[in-house]
Amino acid sequence: MAKPSDYTLNKSDVRVLLALVVFSLILTACRGGDRNDPQAVVEDYLQAKVSRDKDTIQKLLCSEMETFLERETHTFETVSDARIDDLSCTWEEDRSIVRCQGKILASYGAEQTEYPLEAYRVVQEDGEWKWCGEGR
């Protein structure tokens, strides 16, 4: 039996190792935002809502808001070119609020509509932050 010190990496081994590293980085990136960061959760939620990404919306909704999943998913269904412009959010820890600046832009036919971003309530459930509606 060969000892570990007797083994040398050849080009094929290096390629396999490199492929595994790249694959694990892709998986990490696809996993989504940081559920331990309330600011990132709100930003991910807003992007998912504009994109009508039901799976992500469902993962980020607090239990209190689960009954509104369909409404949240279909909010921008009748518009085209919905996107977020100048998104910037800050976490107000003492109030469990994430306050966002920027706007959602959407087209209704030839008309461009702007929806200003506001403050959003977040709660922690099972160790993860969740979007839980608008805040004040």
In a domain, 93, yes or no: yes
Q: Which stretches of the chain drop beneath a pLDDT of 70? A: 1-35
In a domain, 106, yes or no: yes
Q: Are 122 and 132 in contact (CB under 8 A)?
A: yes
In a domain, 118, yes or no: yes
Q: What is the pLDDT of residue 109?
A: 86
Q: What is the pLDDT of residue 23?
A: 32
In a domain, 25, yes or no: no
In a domain, 3, yes or no: no
Q: What's the CATH code of the domain at 105?
A: 3.10.450.100
In a domain, 79, yes or no: yes
pLDDT digits (tens, 9 = 90+) for 25-42: 232 333 345 668 999 999
DSSP code, position 79: -
In a domain, 19, yes or no: no
- Number of independent structural domains in the chain: 1
Q: What is the pLDDT of residue 4?
A: 53
Q: Please name the residues in contact with 74: beta carbons below 8 A apart, sequence gap of 6 or more.
A: 52
Candidates 87, 80, 82; CA nearest to 117 is 87
In a domain, 8, yes or no: no
pLDDT digits (tens, 9 = 90+) for 16-26: 333 322 233 23
DSSP characters over 98-115: EEEEEEEEEEETTEEEEE
Q: What is the pLDDT of residue 108?
A: 87
Q: What is the pLDDT of residue 8?
A: 59
Domain ranges, residue 86? 35-134
Q: What is the pLDDT of residue 24?
A: 31
